[in-house]
Structures are given as structure tokens and as C-alpha cells.
Amino acid sequence: MQIVSSIRELRDVLRGRPAPAFVPTMGNLHAGHLSLVESARQRGVPVVTSIFVNRLQFAPNEDFDRYPRTLERDLGALRDAGCDIAFTPPETELYPQPQAYRVHPPAGLAEVLEGRFRPGFFTGVCTVVLKLFNAVQPGVAIFGKKDYQQWLLIRGMVAQLDLPIDIVGAPTVRDADGLALSSRNGYLDEAQRREAPRLHAELARVAAELATAGADHAALEAGAVQALRERGWQPDYVAIRRSADLGPPAAGDRLVVLGAARLGATRLIDNVEI
Ligand code: PAF
């Protein structure tokens, strides 16, 4: 595996090779990330994984400074997973100057759910992902569907900006008890870790109840929020949405149930597609 930290070096090692399959990450890799690398490997082209903790997508009150940085371990995991190129730019490479030009995704998709509770988050995500796409010039890029709204926004950005990149959404990888793998799970203490699968369990319960004729969406959402609150969570939202664009669902639409809630100081998100 080659490890490169500048865009120039990355272009040099990719010159003359087929457009790579790309997995963007913020590091602290777990089995969920490695499943994306495995999916990239199946494309038969060079696999590039980036590791970059993107300051632009963290609000001042969020965990940018304490976000886990485990570069040596991550590089070992990528090597074992068969990644060809690890792209590990320092901040000065991607942001040599303050990033004044930014991608502002449409409010209808970017300022609801996660965007409502994390203002500016998706501007930060889309901006860095566009920069990474320009650096890597992939033919395909793979994103985990745990971050369902992020995946939809990147897909929309690529479509509307005519980028020749196929965006693939990969299924969420879970621990045996249902907890979606996330770098932020590492913040949980033992008792919180035992409680954490409850978020997925509540979303799955809502999803199951949606199968009942005449299911009352607002009551199901409020019931899940209440159930989480009673167990000590601070829920931001539980929402039943149209899976295509997270709009309010109409009869016959395919649905997704999304949720975000804080357990102590740790904010977890998850979703269940129906
Ligand atoms: O999902 C993530 O880890 C990040 O939002 C991403 C896509 C790597 C952009 O920083």
C-alpha cells in the first residue's frame, strides 16, 4: 500500500491507471469502513482511502479536537484490507488558505434532520468531499448508509454538478446487538454501550409498526422519542421520511426511519430503511 499526503503525489501515483474506487473517511477505522474498502476492491480498479478529520464539518461546540485520531492503526487495517493507496493529507494540504468557496447544498435536504441540529454540517461535508473528489478523481465512491442523509446529499451534488462518479451506498455494519458501528461508539462507557443498541431497536420497532394499516406516523415518532427519553437518552429526532429525498411521505412512497439521540455526551445516529 502506498501512503501519500499531497495531491501532487496522489496524481503521480494514479497517472495512467484506471479511475480509482474511493472510500473517504475521517479515520479511526472500524469494520464498517473496512466493508466499504472491500466493496471498493470488488470493482477491480485501484482503491484509494482518504483519512482526513475535516474541521469544516464540526461546529465550535462539537468534538473536532477530541475526535479519535489513530493513524498508525488505521494504516495497518487498510493494508490488511487490501487498500492500494492511503491518502492522508494534512490540513495545510486541503485548506492551505481559509476555505472561502464552499458548497451549499439545498436547504430542503441539508437543513432538516441532521442539518437542523448541526447547522453548517453538510456544507462542510459537501465542500470537503468535492475537494477530495477533485484530488482523487475516482470513477466510483462508496459511502456508508448509516449516514443516510449524507449519502443522499453527495449523490445529489454529484448529479447536479455533473461529476462523472458513481456514488454507491453501502449497508450499515452492526455489532451483534444491533448497534451501528461508529467511531463515536468509542466515547461510550460500559453502561452506555449496553444501552446504545436501544436507538436501533426503537427505529426497528417503528419500522415494524409502519407495516400496520393506518399507522399514525406522528404518534410512532413521538412514542419512540418518549421511549428513548424514559431510558435516559436526549433524542434530537425520530422521523419517518420518504427514502428518496427525506420529504414527508405520501401513500405508496418507500420509507426510511431516521433517528439521532444523545446518550450522555455522545450523539448517535441510525436509520432503518423499509
Ligand atoms: O462520513 C464521514 O466520515 C465524513 O463525513 C466524510 C464523508 C469522510 C467527509 O469528511
Q: Which long-range contacts (CB under 8 A, 24 or more apart) does 159-162 make?
A: 161/130
Q: Which atom of ligand 1 is nearest to the CA of 154?
A: 7
User: What is the pLDDT, as a whole number, of residue 214?
Assistant: 81
Tell which atom from ligand 1 comes closest to the C-alpha of 54. 10
Amino acid, res. 5:
S
| Average pLDDT taken over every residue of the chain | 97
Q: Where are the alpha helices (DSSP H) in 60-165?
A: 71-81, 91-94, 107-110, 114-117, 121-136, 148-160
Closest Cα to atom 5 of ligand 1:
125
Angle at 180 between CA 156 and CA 190, to 5 degrees: 145
Give residue-wise pLDDT tens across range 83-139: 999 999 999 999 999 999 999 999 999 999 999 999 999 999 999 999 999 999 999
**Is the pLDDT score of 19 beyond 90?**
yes
Q: What is the pTM of this model?
A: 0.97
Of all protein residues, the one whose alpha carbon is nearest to atom 6 of ligand 1 is 25
Please tell me the distance between residue 125's alpha carbon and the centre of ligand 1 in angstroms.
6
The 10s digit of each residue's pLDDT in 20-75 is 999 999 999 999 999 999 999 999 999 999 999 999 999 999 999 999 999 999 99
For the annotated catalytic residues, the residue numbers are 33
pLDDT value of position 213? 74
